[in-house]
Amino acid sequence: MRKWIGFAVLAVSLWAIVSAPVTGQAVARLFGTASDGSAVAIGVVGNALKVSGSSGAAWQLHAAAGATETANFALGSRHRIILDENLTLTLTNPVDGQSYLIKLIQDAAATNTVTWADEANIYWSDGGTPPVITATANAISLCALVYDGTLSKYDGSCSLDHK
């Protein structure tokens, strides 16, 4: 069984993925072997970004996030946020060239939205439009970001209704 996890290798080739044609065909690039011996690959399947392999990074947990939350990248590159109301998410302490993963999980009510406080500083792969996260109970949206310190901008892509 393939395990879709963190985007530790995303910085290597985000532009290749973001610019890949979205035709419903699978596009993949193999990057090597993770520390646990599994193959690490990044690809686009349909219009969803997929990563396989293991990065070994621990999740920073944000349970019952509330109306505002900060993903402080000085604490880690992977943040799991459980939404219990509409959320404004702020990103802090990025490092040039570093990749980050935000896992957004709807609660049972499934009516929560996410506003990116740094929206003006994120180049979204879907035509520059911030993603609208899936509004079903316990739905998971995975958002990958790579920080460009020269431009002070993130390159971002989300896999919505991630399974």
Reported as a single tens digit per residue, the pLDDT across 3-57 is: 333 333 333 333 333 333 434 444 444 444 444 444 445 555 555 555 554 455 7
**Beta-carbon contacts of residue 76 (< 8 Å; ≥ 6 apart):** 57, 58, 59, 60
- Asked if residue 97 has pLDDT above 80, the reply is yes
Q: How many residues does the chain have?
A: 163
- Min mean pLDDT across 26-30, 85-89, 155-159 is at 26-30
- Asked if residue 138 has pLDDT above 70, the reply is yes
- Asked if residue 141 has pLDDT above 90, the reply is yes
Environment class of 46 (CB within 10 Å of its CB; exposed 0-12, middle 13-18, buried 19+): exposed
Residue 61: predicted pLDDT = 87
Distance spanning both ends of the chain, measured CA to CA: 13
156/126 Cα distance (integer angstroms)? 9
pTM for this prediction: 0.66
Mean pLDDT score, 131-148 = 93
Residue 43: predicted pLDDT = 54
Beta-carbon count within 10 A of 61 CB: 12
Residue 31: predicted pLDDT = 45
